[in-house]
Amino acid sequence: MSSIRQFKKVLVANRGEIAIRIFRACTELGIRTVAVYSEQDIVSLHRFKADEAYLIGEGKGPIEAYLDIENMIEVAKRYEVDAIHPGYGFLSENAEFAKRCTDEGIVFIGPAPEHIQMFGDKVDARAMAVKAGIPIIPGTSEPVDTMQEALRFGKENGYPVIIKAASGGGGRGMRIVRKHDEMAEAFDRARSEAKSAFGNMEVYIEKYLERTKHIEVQILADRYGHAVHLFERDCSIQRRHQKVVEVAPSVSLPFELRNEICETGLRLMQAAGYYNAGTVEFLVTPDNQFYFIEVNPRVQVEHTITEMITGIDIVQSQIRIAEGFALGDPEIGIPGQSKIKSSGFAIQCRVTTEDPERGFMPETGRILAYRSGGGFGIRLDAGNDYTGAVITPHYDSLLVKVSAWAITYDQSAQKMFRTLKEFRIRGVKTNIPFLENVVQHKDFLNGMYDTSFIETTPELFE
Ligand code: ADP
């Protein structure tokens, strides 16, 4: 039997564009919103977009403030919030935080702590995929602790290989090793980097697959065993293993293959007993084999484009699922897999305050003039998008997510290009000129790109 507890007040344990995105979802559902902000975010827009806002992490660093579990719980209790939405990054993949919320009687808008735990460790996630009969990239089934094991893997499986931090994320904690002689140094470095970046030195090793596409499947699941996929996104346009431009649906894969990938992603999440929103990521080789890489147990930066092709509000669905609604309930309005339709094509560009002419160095300073693009089929999600905003070095450099939707892929790309051209941002440099080159490039337009596109296309920097 379903037990429903509708929220009156939700706290968003995050900042920037995603905090504002979640406030909007709450407000439309008639839920009061609570922002938290660090000392460094005293004038940040997300603070002013909520019904209430409270300082957290006083005397702590800019990042640490948003990781302060005790303070977060204290604010949530003092101001009587029903639930906390963690957004992405910060505490979103912290199983201890999810558990603390539940223990304190506050609903964590996300999956169960056990799911966060399992998918947060990529070695455990691979084991789960194997159990569900889902293909994984040939690799070690346990963390690799010694150099001898690492060298043995290289010898037995051949190079190139990739050393990955078990707790890694955000494209960090990965090292490609192209030959035997490079292994020793790479292995030591990978472990010490993993330790300093993620507090866990465990690494594992996989075959490095050349020229793959990154295809991921959006899943929504309720607490009663119903789950659906919302089709796939192609996130192959990456720089240093980080996504820059995303497309939904994928344009160059055969229809049957896309279908199979979506069904496989769904099967994994069902086998895991997962609930709320999550993404299953795969790599697809040039001969159309696909392999599981990881699960992200949270809302993703690029969820916007899936919303545009399906019309389904993923953040509102997360909230309704956390309240205890079943997927088929009119309150969520998700009709069942066969009735979920994908329509048109959506592209998202991550506009950052980075200078493409100087190796994408983050910029800081005041935005002296800000005028954005817009128009039919354009969606903007931003944190501090106004004249006078100060870009500090404290947080990641995402300035605004520009998403474009149109009936055909080509129209969507043209709409994106036209919108990027309309932007006028003075005072800080952005990656807009680079993004314009990407969405106008012939390989982008004919869908012939893989994860090496940016690295192997020097004309994007002209
Ligand atoms: P993160 O959690 O840091 O995002 P992922 O495991 O999702 O790391 O990988 C990020 C990107 O790194 C992938 O989209 C892909 O481009 C590249 N990558 C990861 N594993 C491999 C692999 N075995 N072979 C080739 N590329 C890989």
User: Mean pLDDT of successive 10-residue segments in the chain (462 residues)?
Assistant: 88 98 98 98 97 97 97 98 98 98 98 97 96 96 94 96 92 91 94 91 96 98 97 97 97 97 98 98 98 97 98 98 95 90 98 96 98 98 96 96 98 98 98 98 97 97 89
> Do the Cβ atoms of 109 and 91 come closer than 8 Å?
no
Catalytic residue among 243, 401, 415, 429: 243
- Please give the pLDDT value at position 171: 82
Q: How far apart are CA 298 and CA 282, in angstroms?
A: 16
- Please give the pLDDT value at position 72: 98
The rounded Å distance from CA 241 to ligand 1 centre is 6
Q: How far apart are CA 398 and CA 89, in angstroms?
A: 13
List, in sequence order, every residue forming a beta bridge with 390; answer none if it has no partner.
366
Name the residue with the closest Cα to ligand 1, atom 12: 241
Question: Which of 283, 294, 298, 451 for a ligand 1 pocket mutation test, highest count of atoms within 8 Å of Cβ?
Answer: 283
- Please give the pLDDT value at position 410: 98
Ligand 1 binding pocket, CB closer than 6 Å: 137, 162, 168-172, 174, 206, 208-209, 212, 214, 238, 241, 281, 283, 293-294, 451
Give the CB-side neighbour count of residue 120, counting CA atoms within 13 A: 19
The type of residue at 23 is: F
The rounded Å distance from CA 209 to ligand 1 centre is 10
Secondary structure percentages of the chain, helix, strand, coil, to 5:
35, 25, 40
- Please give the pLDDT value at position 335: 82
Q: How far apart are CA 71 and CA 454, in angstroms?
A: 41
With residue 462 as reference, give the H or E element that holds it.
Answer: none
CB burial of 13-51 (b: ≥16 within 10 Å; e: otherwise) equals bbbbbbbbbbbbbbeebebbbbbbbbebbeebbbbebbe
The rounded Å distance from CA 171 to ligand 1 centre is 7
122 is annotated as an active-site residue: no
Question: What count of other Cβ atoms lies within 10 Å of the Cβ of residue 359?
Answer: 8
Name the residue with the closest Cα to ligand 1, atom 22: 208
Q: Which atom, in ligand 1's list, is nearest to the CA of 122?
A: 6
Give the closest residue to 108 by CA, choosing from 388, 248, 318, 409: 318
The rounded Å distance from CA 215 to ligand 1 centre is 11
Question: Which of 293, 298, 301, 449 for a ligand 1 pocket mutation test, highest count of atoms within 8 Å of Cβ?
Answer: 293
- What is the reported pTM? 0.97
Q: Which atom, in ligand 1's list, is nearest to the CA of 206?
A: 23
- Please give the pLDDT value at position 2: 59
Q: How far apart are CA 327 and CA 9, in angstroms?
A: 22
